[in-house]
Structure formats: structure tokens, C-alpha cells
Structure 1
Amino acid sequence: MPVPAPPAALDDSPAARRREQRGWYFYDWANSAFYTTIISVFLGPYLIPVAKTAACAKDFPNIAPDTCMAGFDALVERYPDLGFVDVLGADIRPAAFFGLTLTIAVFLQIVVLPAVGALADHTGRKREMLGGFAYVGALATMALYFVEGDRYMLGGVLFILANLAYGSSVVIYDSFLPQISTAAERDRVSSRGWAIGYLGGGLLLALNLVLYTQHESLGVAEGMAVRISMMSAGLWWAIFTIIPLLRLRNRPVPVHETTAMRSVGGSFRQLARTLGEMRRYPLTVLFLVAYLIYNDGVQTVIGNSAAFASEALKLDKTVQITAILMVQFVAFFGALLLGWLARGIGTKRTVLASLVLWTAIVVAALFVEEGQELQFYLMAFAIAIVLGGTQALSRSLFSQVIPKGREAEYFSLLQISDKGSAFIGSLTVTIALQQTNSYRIAILSMIIFFVIGFVLLALTNLPKAIRQAGNEVPDRI
């Protein structure tokens, strides 16, 4: 069936661009609920007990379920051959089940996202693909409400599906950035999108944490509070995705095969050509490597912050939860602040300055005293200031150094490279803990990522990279 041709001439006036930009911002507001509520807070701690319930029913049927759950670790230590759940024929410990599902989800993203990006560029139907992936992810997230009892496999499958749809939609969402903004507008638009995402994700998380912490006074069981919270993330995602779908517009693409199968085949052929042609853009590759290194440091610090608070500082869950909320809301202002700073001193200098601050933060982690909540909040505040801005401005820079018409392909490479490199930071922390048994030293080890990333970014000639990609060099970069 032929693909309908986009409008011959698209209104690209400042007013038309602003209308699309305002719609584009709201997809960050919509999908951030999945990351904050599902990945960051609720699903892992909820899914592991569900898997333990299944293991108790399978391996310890003569023990009362509540007794088994309360003494599960002691039972496994006494009977090391028991206490597993079945995952496609493999025996998996319940504690490892969420990590396994996350690993599978990341692997599938690495396989699928390049094809998604190439297909989006090949067909030009980005708005339809964005909506399709968003609603698959939102519906899978809402269906997490039905994960209870021993339905661990249902939870794993739904999370993998939702996470894959989330990653695919973000690739397409990011690829709109260079199409809806001029080179001079890019930093502002990217920073506002990232900031609004933190605000949206933080707002829903705050509402869900009120439900969770006050569930007894509200007459709601703890498990039900978690299930309602997870369903709300999917509902939030679905409702607010309507706004970008009404505002964003597809762009014309060159004439090509139009059947679905031919489009898929064409997308893979185009992806192969893109990978082969990347040697024509060595400075783009250098920036990508720099970003992957320093962003790995950023993600690893964030991913280990809760463990650092509990293990090194001996702070309780309440402190950790309130710190997460504070980071969400402060990061909103931080992303806008760094976007404003970039307009004054340049995007590259702003990102380099943020990496200096990241380095100072991990050094300061050595000196935060045990039990000192205020010191931990101050460190979290500093992280929040640079967190959104570092990522938003990096996205803006990347959009400048990729060729037009290939946005989704290149953003898919950014996403999968990000996922594929993420294990390096985690491995570094693991080695540091193994050698020193100190979370302070483990966090300090991230300094190498910020230093190397700083050096590589400083060596990247961005104006030349932008010209090599065939783009206009903005007045300040």
C-alpha cells in the first residue's frame, strides 16, 4: 500500500516551529513517568517478592507462604538447590530476576533500535511510529497492575515490552529535535524538553509516593498501592502523548519502496550504509565516544546513589526517597539554568564546566560523613543542577553533528551505544567494591570517566564536525 505523501511545502515559520516545540516538550513529560515510577522506584522491589512467592510455592509447598517469605534467605542457605524460579527452562534466583529482565530488555534495544531509527527515516512516518510505540509501552505499563501473587513471568514480559517500546519511542522523539528547531534554537529546545520531563516524572512520582507511604491510612494494601502506582505511570504516558501527536508533523522523504516489507528491508540496507559511512564523519564519532564515556559516569553515579546512601552513609529509605524527589524537581531548574548558560558562554564550554562539577561531586563523596543527611542532600542538589543540563546539551550537540534526513538512524546509534557501554561503569564500581569494600572509593572511581570524557570533548572541533555533517554552524557553540 503506498505511503501517503507529506505536504509539498511545510510551514517552517517561527510560529509553526514554536507550536511543534511546545507539543514536543510534552512527550518528555509523558514518558518520564515510566522511568521514574517504574524503573527508578517501584518495579524492582515489587517484582522480586513476586518471584519469591513463586519459588516458595514451587520448592517449599509445606511451609506457610508468609513464613516462607519471611525466612526465604535462610531457607535458601539451608537448601541451596532450592529457591529458584523457572525462566524459559533456566533456574534463576528471585533476587536476580529483575536484573535478568533488565538485561534482556537492554539487549533487545541494542538489536531493535537501529532498525527502528532507519525505518523512521526511510518511511518518514515518525509521528505514527512515535504514537505506536508510545501506546504499546503505555498499555504494557498499565497491565503491570495485574502482576500479583506468583505472576513473575507476566511482570518480566510486560516490563521488557514496555522498556523496548520506551526506547524505540525516544529514538524517534529525539530525531524530531533538528527538524523542529534551527541550529540557534537547539540548546533552548532540548533543555526545555529535558526540564519538563523531570517536572512531569517528579510530579507523578510525588503523588505515587504519597499513596505508597500513606496506604494504611487510605485503607489500601501495600501491594495494591504499588500496582496502582505502576498503572498510573502507563495512564500518564498514554494521556499526555496525545499532545505531541497533535502538534508534530512528518517531513518529506525521498521516493523509495513503499510496501511494509520493502521499507523494512530498505531500512536495514540504509543502516548498513550509515555504519559504513560513519568514517566520513570522524569528529562525529569522536564526540559520540566522548559522550558515551562521560555519560556512563553520570548514569553509574545516579544508579549507585541509593546504595551509597544506605551502605556508606547509613541513611534510611525516607531520606533516599525524598532525595529522589528533590533531584527530579531541582533538575527541572538545572536543565533550564545550563541551557541559559550555554547561550552565554557556548554549549561546549557549558558541558565541559558541568563535567568539572561532576568531578568535584564524586571527590566530595569521600568526605560526606556517615549519618549526615544534610550533606547528602547537598550532594544530591549539586547532582540535580548538572544532571539534566549535561544530558540535554549533549543531545543538542549531537543533533548538530549528524547529517539531515538521517536523524533517527543516528539517534538510534546514540541510544544503543549508550546501552551497550553502560556495563563499563557498573563493572568499574564492582571491581572497586571487590578490591576495597568501600562505596566511597567506588563512587570516586567514576572520576576517570569524567576526566577522559572532558579531554575527548575538549579535543572535538565542533564547528568542523558540524560543517562535515552538512549543517549550519550556530553563532555560539
Structure 2
Amino acid sequence: MPSPNERPPRTAWAGRGEILAWAFYDFANSGYTTVVITAVFNAYFVGAVAGGGPGAWLLWTVALSLSHAVVLLIGPWVGQTADETGRLKPWLGASTALCIAGTAALGLVGPGELALGMALILVSNTAFGLGENLIAAFLPRLVPPERLGRTSAFGWTIGYIGGLLTLLVCLAYVRWSQAQGGDAADFIPVTMLIVAGLFALTALPTFLWVRERPGPLARGGYRTNPWRRTLQAWRDARQLPDLARFLVCLAIFYCGIQTVVALAAIYAEQVMGFSKDQTITLILVVNLAAAAGAWLLGRVHDRIGAVRTVAVTLVGWLVAILLAYFARGEGMFWVAAFLVGACMGSSQSSGRALVAMLSPAGHEGAFFGLWGVAVKVAAIVGPLSYGLLSYFSAGNYRGALLATAGFFVVGLVLLVGVDERRGRERRMRFTPGLDGPA
């Protein structure tokens, strides 16, 4: 009788069409992060809705942090419950619908409407975060361990292409609107509808063609109340010290990643003096570099291992932040942006693949819920720390950026203690409900 922690037989793995359908969710939801969080709505919120200045930066980071705090509280519960029912797609469908509706509603936010803007970011970004956890939990159910790196990289690559195409459509409309004499209050509502519509359309392949593959928990498993299940999942992680250490490591270096994602466009406009067109072009370049970085290092990942791949990207992040800090002209800043993109795609892809590799079979939803906790803690601490540093330093945005490099330094130090081979062995001996090593 096979061990409950063994992966499904090779005949049960997904074919190319199903993997493509899974990756299309990354394609679909990347438009939200690219246009709403990174390139368009964030700058509109800070400049028009909140009136600009350090206080406006702080309000934007507070709105994001609140949404991530909600995901932090309920994400593991959703993942654990999905494991027990054996069905991820109903939860994914609910979070997707809520994110799409919240994104479309952002078009109603006008200058000065702070409460409405913050409330809708809270709703839409919470739903996005839950969906991100759930789609990641499909990964180890689709492919064998030796293909996790390239498959995760494929998803991220497709995702960045999706974000890029969504941004291009929005850019075309923005330029048309500006040619007609329109300003941000005229074109922002339509770009939000574009993002919501493309999200809904391109997420359909995932729901139509990706199969559910229930794990052992769907046939038994935990039967405690939802919050105790979440706490048990964290206690269970003590049997998996390499996974637990990497989740802490990931939470720290993701503080830096989340800060850059949330504030790059605002920094470009308010510190480097970029125009709206230049900022959107900058984000296009970052997405292209991210897609290339995810694809190229996805090939390297399965040869040199996830830990080494993540280490390479963290060094790249440090170099990129130093370049951006010292940049006084556009040239050096463009180089930093390209390097950020390349490291962003590969670090996120390799991190997700390593979590999948070290998670016990049938418990992916629970442990990707904990992965979501790590990511959301980072999304709270990183941008909020930048906002607070900027606010209390009276707008010293460069100094706040330099402080962000510390997250990557600490991440590198913690990464040294993660052993992939030992982690895979621990996964095979995992028994739910035990607090210590099996």
C-alpha cells in the first residue's frame, strides 16, 4: 500500500494542456497586480485620491497592509478546509469573483474619496491573495517533484506576459484618452474595467480544464474546528524544519519584494520625476524582464536546485536596490529596474517551487496556506515599514529604499540553513498531528 505522503502515480500527472490551463490563472490575475497595485491605480491613489506627500504614501501602504492582514488570518483556514473537502476550485472561484468585482468597483473612486478607495483595495487585494494561495496549492498535484521548478517558472512566465498584455491594453486606452483631453479621473475607471474583464475572461481555462486531485485529507484527516486546524498545521510544520525555516526566510526577503512591487511606480514618479507614460513603460520593461528571468532560471532551477537559485536572485535584488539608491539620472535607474524584473520573476517562481517540493502530499492546501501567511506578513511589514520610514523622515524616500536592502541580507543568511535533500526526506515521513520530528 503506498504511503499517504507519496505523490500520485505518473499516469495521474497533468498533461501539457492542463498545465497550460493552470498557468492561465497566473496570466489572468497578473493584470490586477500589474495595473492596480504596481503601475496605475497606486500612483493615482497617492497623487489624486490621497493628495500626494508622505502621508499619502502611508495611507496606500496601510490599505495594502490591512488586506494582507485579512489574508494572514483566513488564508490557512481556507487552504486547510479545501484539503479536507478535496476541492480547491470552489474556493478559487469565490475569491476570483470577489477580486474581479472589487477591481471593477475601483473605477468609482474619485479624487478625495479615501474611504472608498481604501475599502475597495481591502476587498480586492484580500480576494487576490486568497486566490494566489489556492492556485499555488494545485502545483504539487499536477507534476512530479523533478518538474516543479520548470512548471512553477512556466506559470510565472505566463503570468508576467498576462500582466504585460493587460498593461499594454490599458496604456493604449490611457494614451487615447489623453489625446482627447482626458485626465486620470477620466481614464482610471475604464482601465479598472479592462483589468476586471480580462481577468474574468482569461481565468476561464483554469476552471474549465484543471482537474481536482483530492489528497488523503479528503478521505479523513483533521476534524477539529477551523482555527485549531490552522494552529495544528503550524505545529505540524515542526516535523519539516527545512520547510519551516524557508517559510521564515521567505517572509523576510518577501518584505523587500512586496515593497518594490507596491511602490516602484510611485518612486519613479515622485523621486525620479518620471511621467505617467514613462512609468508605464518602466513597468512594461520590468514585466518583460520578469518573464525572461522566470523562464531562464526555471531551466537552471531543476539543475542547481531551488536554494541556490533563490540565493542568486537575492544577490541580484541587493545589487538592484543599490543601483536605484545611487541613481540620479534615468540610465542607472532603468538598469536597476531591469535587474529587479529579472530577479522578481525567478525568486518568486523558485520560492513557490521549493514550498511545493517540501510539502507533504495531500496537505498542499494547508502548507500553501502557511506560505500565504509568510507572503502576507511580508506584504504587511515591507510596504508599511517603507511608508513609516518615509513619513517620519519627512520624505526621505531614498533612505527608506536603502533600508529595504536589509530584508534581502537577512534572507540570504537564513537561506544558508535550508537543505533540500533533507527536506524531501522529512516530507516522506510526515505524520499529521505530531508536533516534532517523526
Which of the five TM-score ranges fits, normalised by the shorter chain? 0.7 to 0.9
Partner in structure 1 of residue 227 of structure 2? 268
Q: Would the alpha carbon gap of residues 306 and 35 (structure 1) be closer, same or farther in structure 2, given more than 3 Å must change?
A: closer
2:365 to 408, 424, 429: 408
Q: Which amino acid in the other structure matches residue 124 of structure 1? A: G
Structure 2 CA distance, aligned partners of 1:300 and 1:36? 14
Partner in structure 1 of residue 159 of structure 2? 197
Q: Which amino acid in the other structure matches residue 342 of structure 1? A: H
Is 1:298 equivalent to 2:257 in the alignment?
A: yes
Indicate the SS of the match to 2:167: helix
8 Å CA contact retained: 2:148, 2:353: yes
Q: CA deviation at 1:328?
A: 1.1
Q: Which amino acid in the other structure matches residue 34 of structure 2? A: T
1:448 to 396, 406, 429: 406
Larger Rg computed on CA atoms:
1
TM-score (norm 2): 0.85
8 Å CA contact retained: 1:190, 1:395: yes
Q: Would the alpha carbon gap of residues 161 and 434 (structure 1) be closer, same or farther in structure 2, given more than 3 Å must change?
A: closer
1:120 to 76, 79, 82: 82
8 Å CA contact retained: 1:331, 1:384: yes
Q: Which amino acid in the other structure matches residue 381 of structure 1? A: F
Is 1:158 equivalent to 2:120 in the alignment?
A: yes
Is 1:460 equivalent to 2:418 in the alignment?
A: yes
Q: Which amino acid in the other structure matches residue 405 of structure 2? A: I
Is 1:278 equivalent to 2:276 in the alignment?
A: no
Q: Percent identity?
A: 29
Q: CA deviation at 1:300?
A: 2.4
Q: CA deviation at 1:230?
A: 0.2
Deviation readout 1:135-189 (Å, 9 max, x if unpaired)? 2221232233344587655444433222222111111100000000110110001
Alignment of 1:125-144 (within 5 A): 125-144=87-106
8 Å CA contact retained: 2:92, 2:135: yes
8 Å CA contact retained: 1:101, 1:156: yes
Is 1:35 equivalent to 2:33 in the alignment?
A: yes
Deviation readout 1:301-352 (Å, 9 max, x if unpaired)? 4444345434554444443221111111221111101111223333222221
8 Å CA contact retained: 2:111, 2:185: no
TM-score (norm 1): 0.78
Alignment of 1:292-331 (within 5 A): 292-310=251-269, 312-331=271-290
8 Å CA contact retained: 1:50, 1:151: no
Partner in structure 2 of residue 336 of structure 1? 295
Structure 1 CA distance, aligned partners of 2:260 and 2:320? 10
Deviation readout 1:9-59 (Å, 9 max, x if unpaired)? x9953884323211110000011111111222333444568867xxxxxxx
Q: CA deviation at 1:292?
A: 1.5
Indicate the SS of the match to 1:451: helix
2:322 to 344, 363, 370: 363
8 Å CA contact retained: 1:319, 1:373: no
Q: Would the alpha carbon gap of residues 290 and 428 (structure 1) be closer, same or farther in structure 2, given more than 3 Å must change?
A: same
8 Å CA contact retained: 2:86, 2:218: no
Q: CA deviation at 1:355?
A: 1.5
Indicate the SS of the match to 2:312: helix
Root-mean-square deviation (CA, aligned residues, Å) is: 3.2
Q: Would the alpha carbon gap of residues 252 and 266 (structure 1) be closer, same or farther in structure 2, given more than 3 Å must change?
A: farther
Alignment of 1:2-151 (within 5 A): 13=11, 16-47=14-45, 98-148=60-110
Partner in structure 2 of residue 212 of structure 1? 174
Structure 2 CA distance, aligned partners of 1:334 and 1:144? 31
8 Å CA contact retained: 2:214, 2:362: no
Indicate the SS of the match to 1:185: helix
Partner in structure 1 of residue 190 of structure 2? 228
